[in-house]
Structure 1
Amino acid sequence: MRLQRLILIRHGESVGNEAASAAEFSGDEVIDLPFRDADTPLSPTGEAQADALGTALRELGVGLEAAVWTSPYRRAMQTSARALDAADLERAAMADERLRDRELGILDHLTSHGTLARYPSETERRAHLGKFFYRPPGGESWADVALRLRSFLAEAQGGSAETGVVFAHEAIIHLLRYVLEGWDEHQVLAAAVEAPAPNASVTLLERDPAGAWVASVVGDVTHLREHGVEATLHTGRPDPRVNRATEAAEEVSHVSAE
């Protein structure tokens, strides 16, 4: 039986999320972090969020027969390990480099203020090309990421598991939906603003009777509230009300399968 359900989970809050939001809010040019992006760990809040994901996995009926993948980045691997342990699933997620976060090239560790100050021509080029097709030097566009995710999904859907779980990053979640739900450039960029994926949130895609993928749950953080854990929403945008507020993260979006 081919894959019928795909559970998409954003990693818990990382120290990078905290530092990036603080830097944007303060108007700093550089995000003060000593780590590579790949090595950035969870914050204490992120660890608690990852533990609370065990409840979500149990309620979704995830068992040992499910296929579980993770981004190889430390924050995603920590989230998967803690969540699976909390769900009493004695197994490890399979790390797949195609699930890594989007690479930013020369813009890595820069805030929006830093990009504008140090690479004004890149800001202009991004405005001209649009967010989906803009590729920073040495980095990736959203379209580039979608290409590697098509490769991942071709393998994932060809396996024997009916349920799959992916621990990854917000951009990856939006682009997996882009590929599976047949979105266009405008739909995926709108979803990034209107239906964000809070840290440790759950998005559930299921096949309808015709075999098409449909989102039945988007950005669910109910399990965090049940455990008394703070919900966080770090989007990378300079508006601190978006980056730091928990109210938006708690507005769980349940979508009809119709």
Structure 2
Amino acid sequence: MRLSSGLDLTVVRHGQSTANVAFAAAEAANRPGTGLVGRDRDIPLSPLGETQAGAVGRRLAGLPARRRPEVVICSPYRRARQTWRFAAAAADAAGVRLPPPLVDDRLRDRGMGELELLTRTAIEVRFPAEAARWRETDELRYRPPGGESLLDVGVRLAPLLAELRTSHAGRRLLLVAHDAVVIMLRHLIERLSLDELRAVVAAGPVANASFTSWTTVDGDDIPVLVEYDVVDHLRADPL
């Protein structure tokens, strides 16, 4: 996948969600239930996630105008759209107007199908055969019933990157999305081998409200990774 010369791309993972909190609490207690109801796409930010999103906006507001995003595209999931809303509000309070977001369904989180919003412990209890299949399958290729593998996520992102190459060439672009999207964009943009991609996955999830960026250098039209999973703004933010 080649992006046109001059296209600078940044991806922000959404802030901490209520599901992130519920999953962590359930896993720490080794219990299957999270108390979550409804659909994954409707999960909102936690109070901390709202604060993290504000820090994202203040980081962007602190950039020189020539480095701020010109186009913003969000996942349709509630937590991603909320992240940009809180970020834009924080930037606006700092005197900087950020672009209104576009929404693209291809930036949605990895579909987990019948396993949506279930912890690994819950899957072991309710679907032991499926849990065993997951353990025995390459992590990049495991596709839950009715869901997607990580490689499937890459397949749906590839046409989006091709469109960005033509429709937003030469513009600073920011996406607000999810862990799986950030990881698979690295695979596509940097042309990571499957072994290299497995190493990225094994290193752990992308942090909430983190920045990952690619840019072109010296006229080369293949972007290079500038930063990955950066959260310095969360530690430095005065609020």
Q: Is this a same-fold pair by TM over 0.5?
A: yes
Unaligned runs of 5+ in 2: none
Question: CA–CA distance in 2 between the matches of 1:45 and 1:124?
Answer: 35
Deviation at 1:187, TM superposition (A): 1.7
Question: For 1:176-207, what per-residue CA distance to the aligned partner results, in whole angstroms no more than 9, with x for missing partners?
Answer: 11111001222223113326421111111112
Change (3 A) 1:12 1:25: same
Give the alignment partner of residue 208 of structure 1, picking from 217, 220, 223.
217
CA RMSD of aligned residues (A): 2.0
**Residue 15 of structure 1 pairs with residue 23 of structure 2:** no
Q: Looking at both structures, which has the greater relative contact order when contacts are Cα pairs under 8 Å and sequence separation is at least 6? A: 2
Code of the aligned partner of 2:212: T
- Using the aligned pairs only, state the percent identity: 37
> How many residue pairs get matched?
229
2:57 aligns to what?
A: 54
Change (3 A) 1:213 1:65: closer
Code of the aligned partner of 1:10: R
1:83 aligns to what?
A: 87
**Residue 43 of structure 1 pairs with residue 41 of structure 2:** no
Give yes or no for contact 1:205–1:215 (8 Å, CA) kept in 2: yes
Deviation at 1:121, TM superposition (A): 1.8
Deviation at 1:228, TM superposition (A): 4.5
Question: For 1:123-157, what per-residue CA distance to the aligned partner results, in whole angstroms no more than 9, with x for missing partners?
Answer: 22223331111111011111111011001111112
Question: CA–CA distance in 2 between the matches of 1:108 and 1:216?
Answer: 33
Give the alignment partner of residue 221 of structure 1, picking from 219, 222, 231.
231
TM-score, structure 1 as length reference: 0.82
Change (3 A) 1:194 1:90: closer
> What SS is found at the alignment partner of 1:124?
helix
Question: CA–CA distance in 2 between the matches of 1:17 and 1:4?
Answer: 32
Question: CA–CA distance in 2 between the matches of 1:178 and 1:67?
Answer: 22
Question: CA–CA distance in 2 between the matches of 1:34 and 1:74?
Answer: 15
Question: CA–CA distance in 2 between the matches of 1:6 and 1:45?
Answer: 26
Question: For 1:162-187, what per-residue CA distance to the aligned partner results, in whole angstroms no more than 9, with x for missing partners?
Answer: 21101001111011111110012222
